[in-house]
Amino acid sequence: MIEMFTSPELLIALLTLTVLEIVLGVDNVIFISILSAKLPKEQQQRARRVGLMGAMLMRIALLFSISWMARLVDPLFSIGEYAFSGRDLILLGGGLFLLAKATYEIHDKLEGEEGHASGKVAATFASVITQVMILDIVFSLDSVITAIGMADHLGVMVTAVILAVLVMLLSADAISAFVEKHPTVKILALSFLILIGFSLVAEGLGQHIGKGYIYFAMGFSVAVEMINIRIRSRKKVEPVELRQKYVE
Rounded to whole angstroms, the Cα distance separating 134 from 185 reads 24
Residue 168 pLDDT more than 60?
yes
Contact 151, 157 (CB under 8 A): yes
DSSP string over 223-234 = HHHHHHHHHHHH
Q: Where are the domains of the chain?
A: 2-209
What does the pLDDT look like over 99-118, one tens digit per residue?
Answer: 887 888 788 777 655 444 44
Rounded to whole angstroms, the Cα distance separating 6 from 1 reads 9
What does the pLDDT look like over 46-93, one tens digit per residue?
Answer: 888 888 888 788 878 877 776 676 677 778 888 877 788 887 887 788
Distances in Å between the alpha carbon of 151 and those of 15, 141, 142, 241? 11, 16, 15, 56
